[in-house]
Structure 1
Amino acid sequence: MIFYSLTFALFFAALIMLTHLVKDCKKQHIVFLLANIVFYGYWDVRFLLLLAAVILICYYGANLYETNQNRVFITIPVVTCLGVLGICKYLNFFIDSFCEAFNISGIHTLQIILPLGISFYLFQAMSYLFDVKKGTISAEKDFIKLATYISFFPQITSGPIVKAHDFLPQLDRVHRIKKSNVYEGIQLFVLGLTKKVVFADRIGVAVNAVYSAPLAYNNISIFWAIIGYSLQIYCDFSGYSDMAIGIAKVLDFDLGKNFDLPYLARNPSDFWRRWHISLSSWFRDYVYIPLGGGRAGKEKTYRNLFVTMLLSGIWHGANWTFIVWGVLHGVGSAVHKIFRDIKGKADKRTNPAVSFICIVGNCIFVALLWVVFRATDMGQAMEVLSGLFRMTGITYINVYVVIYFVIIAVVHILGAIKNNGHAFEVKLDLDTFKGQFILFTWIFLIIAFMYVGDSAFIYAQF
């Protein structure tokens, strides 16, 4: 059930009506949970069985831990979540890698269907377990309430990953369909839709053409393909996040911010404070800090940064490309930390020219690593990267890539100038004719320029 499909529009309209009619908090939990089941089960009913099992073991594990204060009751659900993720997502990869390393033949991989959004809802489930273990929240006694959190439909397939201590308290109140929330949610949804179907999907056509046969294209084509994918993945993923956040806002939920002009980052660490903020903060709170963070001495801090980014790469998928991508981001973060330790803390009044050089340098670093992320294997990644030095071949410059590059660059520049380097919000007053006219014109332009082909969200595969 895609967000911008007629089926979802009917589903969401019915949910808004039910949310408005049901005034009791606990009854609303039932409504939301049923909506989650319908939305997720629409993709494949079989996926619901695994989701239900995860919720059950987290519910009983956390409550038993709170009663007995025995770590085993938290450890078992966490290990189960990691085990499920490992089997569904990585088992075949390990089998193939083992056979290739030792030149073993005759061992067949298993026919495992990867459940949609498994990485996202398992991380939400573990967030709940870790928060209970740390005492940040109490174990949830209401099973339906916990199930509503772990399976919340707007973000179950591609995030944002919302921590338990941020979401569960929102279920302690009656949710009302407020005009202010509806207006804000609609604008967020339309913004996300624009990023996805107008920007990302059209850029994706050009990127796919070059990546399908990188050896046939010259360095100019490769350069624009690399730029194109950097724009595509940003618009695709931040577009989904905007839509999910907007849908939740209409229902009176706050999922937080997931992107903050990431291509204005001055270094790798800053990039991860701006890109996929929910996942970055998850790894910070539940991996980096428990490992010792920056308090365990310089060498261990570098190790902690590297390990955190390596695990982030592994989280993205069972492929050596993701592992290498995570390793290189880990190296980049550690090198930046070493440089800062040698130089000392940066002066907040840094020369604008220096800031510009840092931003451009970090963009180049990130864009080159997106090549590894996008490639089907390391061989293809090397073909694309080596193409930057190839003078012969087809010259292919897609006009949409160039136009959208300029638009996104202008948005980032305006953010740097007008809002101290952060994303700014332009909210229309939909109570006025002017605001309504702009919104409907905006929607008309989406329809006019949208890509009509079938193009799934990139992060749905994770």
Structure 2
Amino acid sequence: MLFNTIDFAIFMPIVFLLYWFVFKKKIKTQNLFLLAVSYFFYACWDWHFLGLIFLSSVVDYLVGHSLAKTEQRIKRKMLLLLSLIVNLGILGFFKYYHFFIESFQEVFTLFGRNLESSTLNILLPVGISFYTFQTLSYTIDVYRKKIEPTHDVVSFFAFVSFFPQLVAGPIERASNLLPQFERKRFFDYAKSVDGLRLIILGLFKKMVIADNCALAVNEIFTYYPDYSGSTLFFGAFFFAFQIYGDFSGYSDIAIGSARLLGFDLMQNFNSPYLSRNLGEFWRRWHISLSTWFRDYVYIPLGGNKGSKGKWIRNIFIVFLVSGLWHGANWTFIIWGFIHALFFLPLILSNKNSKFKDIAENSKRLPSIKTVFQISFTFLIVTLAWVFFRSENVTQAFLYFEGMFSVSFFSFPTVSRGLVLFLIIYMIFEWLQRDKKHLLEIDFIRSKPLRIAIYYMIVFAIFYFAGDTQPFIYFQF
């Protein structure tokens, strides 16, 4: 069930009404209802894979329960290892089986030997990378004694399968989301209104920005040998906004839907294309994943402690694993390597944590220096997106070869209206950079004017929506 369909437009109001008016008396009843509708939501894609969510939930609930009963170091490590093997084993089989088999065959081919091996017709379960990391955060935090294990099986199963963020995040921590299932929730009108605003914003990002950009991106990347270098550059430019509108749009709808039900999910995007270096970009882009890798991979490896050599090693490991998390393709690994490579100067100069405040917080217009920093960071990110979007490494290099040809200086054959629209959108993001989201416009004191703006955005969604495209991150 897609967020941008009539099905969800019918599903969500029904869930909302039943949740608040029929099942509101008892927390357990509400949670049981949420568990049922979450499993139904996922089953709309393929009910066969419900067993995987159920298995992960059972294993991690029992592991957490067992960890609470023992203080023996070896036994606790074995329990954690069981959780890691089951969850990462399932993820690895479904997501990386073909990748490793094909890579193994290619190695033998390089030495002049053809190795035949059987392959399986394996479908990737939607959202498996997201809910696997979410349930693992619970087990790891219980092992570290950062949280107490829950004894409420319904709450835990609902936490793992919570439908707004089940398929593409945000990847919630048990320490934040699980306690919200265990305490009574009360209807909050202001929170629900803000949730509706986020849903509208998310639909606008997805249907107007991402889906319109997708039309140009699909055309340019498919027929890239036929286009000039300048047009290929704008193909990468459009993809940068496609993936941002697509993924942040999903996150906005997920967070907004959760708020309608009385839950607060973590912010997943914070105007990442206004970042002044890559360090700031990764504090603003897919925040739930970048902080997950920080807490469960980077810091356990040693983080920034020890020599700079180890620090650099840890950075490269995290970015390469992050690339592999996105998909079983060398293009994603190279994408991660590029980000690590450009992150390296920030580490050596101790500037990776330089920008933690809002850019030009007290000013309306950015300084020339800030414009240059934002533009340079956006350029690096955009060029790296070429690998992310390409079908294979060969296509990516051929795309770059065409882009940086003499024709780069020719006039691009792209929609000037779309380019202008994206620039205007980024101006609004700049003006709203100190707000939680773009539609937080309470500074407009006239309520009728605010409502008129919301209706204008809804009208734009219906009138300017591009052809319906699947959410990009569903494949991860």
Q: Taking structure 1 as the reference length, what is the TM-score of the superposition?
A: 0.93
Aligned partner of 1:362 in structure 2 is 377
Task: Write the distance in 1 (CA, Å) between the matches of 2:388 and 2:48.
Answer: 30
Q: Work out whether residues 201 and 438 of structure 2, in 8 Å CA contact, stay in contact via their aligned partners in 1.
A: no
**Alpha-carbon offset, residue 164 of structure 1:** 0.7
1:266 corresponds in structure 2 to 276
For 1:227, the equivalent position in structure 2 comes to 237
CA shift for structure 1 position 409: 2.7
Match of 2:182 in 1: 172
1:437 to 452, 460, 468: 452
Q: Note closer, same or farther for the CA distance 1:346–1:12 as it changes in structure 2 (3 Å cut).
A: closer
Report the secondary structure of 1:158's partner residue.
coil
Query: Which residue matches 1:124?
Result: 134
Q: Which residue of 2 aligns with 1:410?
A: 427
Q: For the structure 1 residues 400 and 256, does the alpha-carbon distance in structure 2 shift closer, same or farther, using more than 3 Å as the test?
A: farther
Give the alignment of 1:59-458 within 5 angstroms. Answer: 59-69=61-71, 70=75, 71-103=77-109, 104-340=114-350, 352-392=367-407, 395-415=412-432, 419=434, 425-427=439-441, 432-451=447-466, 453-458=467-472
Distance 1:442 1:381, change over 3 A: same
Contact between 2:298 and 2:315, CA under 8 Å: does it hold in 1?
yes
**Cα offset, 1:201, TM superposition:** 0.4
Q: What's the counterpart of residue 58 of structure 2?
A: 56
What is the one-letter code of the residue matched to 1:9? A
Letter in 1 for 2:421: Y
The whole-number CA distance in structure 1 between the counterparts of 2:215 and 2:239 is: 10
User: Which digits, 9 at most, give the CA deviation of each residue in 1:196-226, with x for residues without a partner?
Assistant: 0011101110011110021111112111111
Shift of 1:437: 3.0
Matches of 1:49 and 1:344, distance apart in 2: 42
Tell me how far 1:43 sits from its aligned partner.
Answer: 0.9
Contact 1:28 1:174 in 2 (8 A): no
1:106 deviates by 2.7
CA deviation map 1:3-45 (0-9, x unaligned) = 1322222222221122212221111110110111110111111
Structure 1 gaps of 5+ residues are none
Instruction: Give the CA deviation at 1:440.
Output: 2.2
Deviations 1:325-346 (A, max 9, x none): 11111122223211237x9978
Whole-Å separation in 1 of the counterparts to 2:163 and 2:93: 24
Q: How far has the Cα of 1:431 moved from its partner?
A: 10
Distance (whole Å) between structure 1 residues aligned to residue 108 and residue 294 of structure 2: 36
- Number of aligned residue pairs: give it: 457
Q: Deviations over 1:225-250 (max 9, x none)?
A: 11111111111111111011100011
Q: What SS does structure 2 have at the residue aligned with 1:289?
A: helix
Q: State the partner residue of 1:4.
A: 4
1:370-421 deviations in whole A, cap 9, x for unaligned?
00111000111112111222345994212343123212331343246xx39x
Q: Is the CA contact 1:245–1:255 (under 8 Å) kept in the aligned structure 2?
A: yes
Look up the equivalent residue of 2:101 and give its one-letter code: I
Please report how far the alpha carbon of residue 159 of structure 1 lies from its aligned counterpart in structure 2 after TM superposition. Answer: 0.7
Alignment partner of 2:68: what SS? helix
Task: Note if contact 1:183-1:430 (Cα within 8 Å) is conserved in structure 2.
Answer: no
The alpha-carbon deviation at position 179 of structure 1 amounts to: 1.6
Secondary structure at the residue paired with 1:45?
helix
